[in-house]
Copies of this chain bind each other. A is one copy, B any other.
Amino acid sequence: MTTILSPELIASFIDIVGSGHALSSPAETAPYLVESRGLYHGTTPLVLRPGSVEEVSRIMRLASQTRTAIVPQGGNTGHVAGQIPREGKADMVLSLERLNRIRDVDPVGNVIVADAGCILADVQKAADDAGRLFPLSLGSEGSARIGGNLSTNAGGTAVLAYGNMRQLCLGLEVVLPTGEIWDGLRRLKKDNTGYDLRDLFIGAEGTLGVITGAVLKLFPKPLGHQVAFAGLRSVEDALALFDRASTLCGPALTGFELMPRIGIEFTSRHIPGVRDPMPTVHPWYALIDISTSDSAESAERMIEGVLETGVSNGLVENAIIATSETQRKALWHMRESMSPAQKPEGGSIKHDVSVPVSNIPAFMAEADTAVMKAIPGARICAFGHMGDGNIHYNISQPVGADKQVFLDRWREMNAIVHGIVLKYRGSISAEHGIGQLKRDELAEIRPEIEIELMQRIKHAFDPAGIMNPDKVLRTRSM
Residues of B within 8 A of A106 (CB): 356, 358
Q: What residues on B are CB-neighbors of A460 within 8 Å? A: 453, 456-457, 459-460
Q: Lowest 8 CB-CB distances: which A-B pairs, in order?
A: A250-B293, A251-B251, A456-B460, A191-B427, A199-B199, A109-B358, A190-B430, A187-B356
Q: Which of A407-455 contact B (CB under 8 A)?
A: 425-434, 438, 442, 446-447, 449-451, 453-454
State the Cβ distance, A197 to closest chain B Cβ, in Å: 6
The 8 A CB mask of A154-192 against B (1 = contact, 0 = none) is 010001010110110000000010001111101111111
Q: Which of A1-9, A257-265, A294-302, A372-380 contacts B (4 or more CB under 8 A)?
A: A294-302
Q: Is A220 an interface residue (CB 8 A)?
A: yes
Q: Mark A300-311, 1 if CB is under 8 A from B, else 0.
A: 011001000000
Q: Which residue of B lies closest to A209 (CB)?
A: B453
CB distance from A266 to the nearest CB of B (A): 24
A354 and B196 within 8 A (CB): no
- Give A437 Cβ to nearest chain B Cβ, in Å: 12
Most chain B CB atoms below 10 A, which of A355, A385, A450: A450
Contacting pair B430 A188 (CB below 8 A) = yes
Chain A contacts with B in 339-372, Cβ cutoff 8 A:
354-359
CA distance A457 to B198 in the complex (A): 13
Instruction: Decide if A116 is an interface residue (CB 8 Å cutoff).
Output: no
A247: contacting residue among B155, B293, B433, CB under 8 A: B293
Q: A194-B473, A247-B220, A301-B294 are in contact. Are A389 and B356 (CB under 8 A)?
A: no
List, in ascending order, chain B residues with CB within 8 A of A427's CB: 186, 188, 190-193
Q: Which of A108-122 contact B (CB under 8 A)?
A: 108-111
* Interface membership of A390, Cβ < 8 A: yes
Interface residue? A60 (CB, 8 A): no
